[in-house]
Structure 1
Amino acid sequence: MTAVGTTSTTGKFADLASGRVHYIEAGSGHPVVLLHGSGPGATGLTNFSPNIEPLAEHFRVIVPDMPGWGQSDVPGAAGYDHRGTLIELLDALGVESAALVGNSMGAVTAIATAVSHPQRVSHLVTMGPPSVGGPLIFSPSGPTEGIRLLVEASFSPTPENVKKLVQVMCFDQDLATEELAQKRSEAALSRPELLESFRTRFLEYFQRTLASLAGKTSTIVAPTLLIHGRDDRVSPMEASLQLASVIPDSRLLLLNRCGHWTQIEQAAEFNQSVTNFLSQH
């Protein structure tokens, strides 16, 4: 592992069987892994910038760029089923059991790991997951507005397309700045090999991961906190309602006037809620 910075969230690399993974780490205490979502230019740091330091006051916070994003390698044979990479990273860091906190794609990784490796997951926190329990009843079928824009921006990550994606992610449009869109566009275009892998492989692998979870979420034994924005235009809030109905030890926090990025739009409430949940369970 090689240090690449000296800030409070020092960047490092772990050479794993599934490839080289970049991660940042801060704080001490019980391990908490923050798992980012997808989309052009996404990284662990950008997805959790307002959360890392507040959570690191209480926990050992580990924030990887999963294969296919940030400074990590293109996904290998395992594709975009990230649970194997996550277990490899926990092993490399000497972590027997960790709280998994996942947004969107990261929520799917966290759920999949809680299903297949229950002994490695002490707590499960999800934000804005897609449906992993079968078809939704009260939400429109087919790709949502947010998913359509995410795919469009991933195939053509111009600042204009990324700006449209950022706008649909947020309820508060003040967060959808030109600067953010420009930075995420530049980050995506700087790694064309990651874009090509996404375009040719991501959707197939991701759908396969979702299908592998059908009928299995009721087996999750970790205490679970499901956080969802009522105004999420990427993943309908019904997906979290569905999970709350089948995960035995679960509770749901539904945030009004909030979109897909609950950890960013409602950062203070998110940080306090996650801290309380992890501390009390």
Structure 2
Amino acid sequence: MKQSMILLHGLFGGLSNWKGVIQHFESRYDIHIPLLPIFDQHKEDNLSYLVHSLEKYIQQHQLEKPVIIGNSLGGHVAVLFTHRHPDKVSQLVLTGSSGLYENNSMGSYPKRGNYEYIRERVAYTFHDPAIATDALVEEVFKITRDRVKCLRIVQNAKSANRNYVAPLLPEITTPTLLIWGDDDRITPLEVAREFASLLPQAQLVILPACGHAPMMERPEEFNRILEEFLGK
């Protein structure tokens, strides 16, 4: 029976962000990419709602001790879930995770209908702006044209700022891999080092010339590092 792997996207991310990971690991892992219900209407704190949705997903799919990999907001959700359910996660992988500090001006104030601004902010996510393809920019632009979705983005960004995880991290003994780009301008390298210092079983690997989404920008290196960690 294959080991389960859950991939969690960020605030403006999507399923396509994990293409390289899926291609590399799908023959050996039972891969799940739940779409985080960022745009749902509810009365809970937004991060708590996302964690509850992950709890339900794992229960519905009867996943036992999956590997959980989260980017940006998805990493934040993964941290909170792992802290609540340490017995339900075999290994934790964080890349560009929020929870300590996040410089996300687009999350705080997404300018609706301004295509060039959106292109600039998407490019800012990467070390190499060429990664911000027209298709990727269009995907984010569609979100920002929707008034309700914009409101949900702002609410989730504020919830992420409120849910400061530093006090929780020393209590998470799950083996954890941190893969960080040295040119991450959203969650800078200092954030990765703070995660590494607070998590009891953390390994930090820094990728040069890489931004906020290493699995997209440096997929081969990301997969190699992940492979080594999973094999331990």
Determine the structure 1 residue equivalent to 2:10.
37
TM-score (norm 1): 0.75
1:108 equivalenced with 2:62 (yes/no): no
1:203 positional shift: 3.3
Q: Distance in 1 between matches of 2:83 and 2:153?
A: 25
- SS of 1:195's equivalent in the other structure is helix
Q: CA RMSD in A?
A: 2.0
The answer to whether the Cα contact below 8 Å between 2:75 and 2:97 also exists between their aligned partners in 1 is yes
Per-residue CA distance 1:84-121 (angstroms, 9 max, x = gap): 11111000000132111000111111111111111111
- Which aligned runs of 4 or more in structure 1 are off by greater than 6 angstroms? none
| In 1: Cα distance, 2:162 partner to 2:18 partner | 26
| Counterpart selection for 1:127 from 63, 77, 95 | 95
Separation in structure 2 between the aligned mates of residue 38 and residue 150 of structure 1, nearest angstrom:
8
1:160 matched to 2:116: yes
Report if the CA contact (8 A) 2:107-2:153 is conserved.
Answer: no
Q: Tell me how far 1:56 sits from its aligned partner.
A: 1.0
Match of 1:198 among 139, 146, 153: 153
Number of the residue aligned with 1:149: 106
- Kindly tell me: are residues 78 and 31 of structure 1, through their superposed partners in 2, closer, same or farther at Cα, counting changes over 3 Å? farther
Alignment match, 1:118 = 86
> Partners in 1 of 2:79 and 2:139 — Cα distance?
30
In the alignment, does 2:166 pair up with 1:214? yes
Q: Give me the whole-angstrom Cα distance separating, in 2, the residues matched to 1:62 and 1:115.
A: 20
User: Secondary structure, in 3 states, of the residue corresponding to 1:239?
Assistant: helix
- The residue aligned with 1:66 is 36
Larger helix fraction of residues: 2
Q: What is the CA-CA distance between 1:155 and the residue it aligns to?
A: 4.2
Residues 241 and 157 of structure 1: is their aligned pair in 2 closer, same or farther, counting only changes over 3 Å? Answer: farther
**1:21-78 C-alpha deviation (Å, 9 max, x unpaired):** xxxxxxx711111010113xx32x1321222121212211100110125xxxx14233
Whether the 8 Å CA contact 2:83–2:171 is kept in 1: the answer is: yes
Deviations 1:211-252 (A, max 9, x none): xx2312011111100011000111111111111112121110
SS in structure 1 of the partner of residue 19 of structure 2: coil
Residue identity (%): 25
| Bigger fraction of residues in strand | 1
Q: Aligned pair in 2 of structure 1 residues 249, 57: CA closer, same or farther (>3 Å)?
A: same
SS in 1 for 2:36: coil
Report the counterpart of residue 245 of structure 1 in structure 2.
197
Residues 96-151 of structure 1: per-residue CA shift (max 9 Å, x gap): 3211100011111111111111111110000012353xx7xxxxxxx63xx11343
Is 1:178 equivalent to 2:154 in the alignment? no
Preserved CA contact (<8 Å) 2:76 2:99: no
For residue 203 of structure 2, give the secondary structure of its aligned residue in structure 1.
strand
Cα distance between partner residues in 1 of 2:217 and 2:68: 20
- For residue 9 of structure 2, what is the amino acid of its counterpart? H
In structure 1, the residue matched to 2:66 is 98
Q: Distance in 1 between matches of 2:216 and 2:175?
A: 23
- In structure 2, the residue matched to 1:232 is 184
Distance 1:157 1:95 in 2: 40
What is the CA distance between 1:193 and its match in structure 2? 3.3
**Take 1:244 and 1:31, find their aligned partners in 2: how far apart are those partners?**
25
Q: Assess if the C-alpha contact under 8 Å between 1:102 and 1:126 holds in 2.
A: yes
Residue type matched to 1:56 in 2? E
Q: Cα gap change, 1:270/1:46 in structure 2, threshold over 3 Å: closer, same or farther? A: same
Q: 1:149·1:164 contact (CA, 8 Å) conserved in 2?
A: no
Structure 1 pair 172/204, CA: closer, same or farther in 2 (3 Å)?
Answer: closer
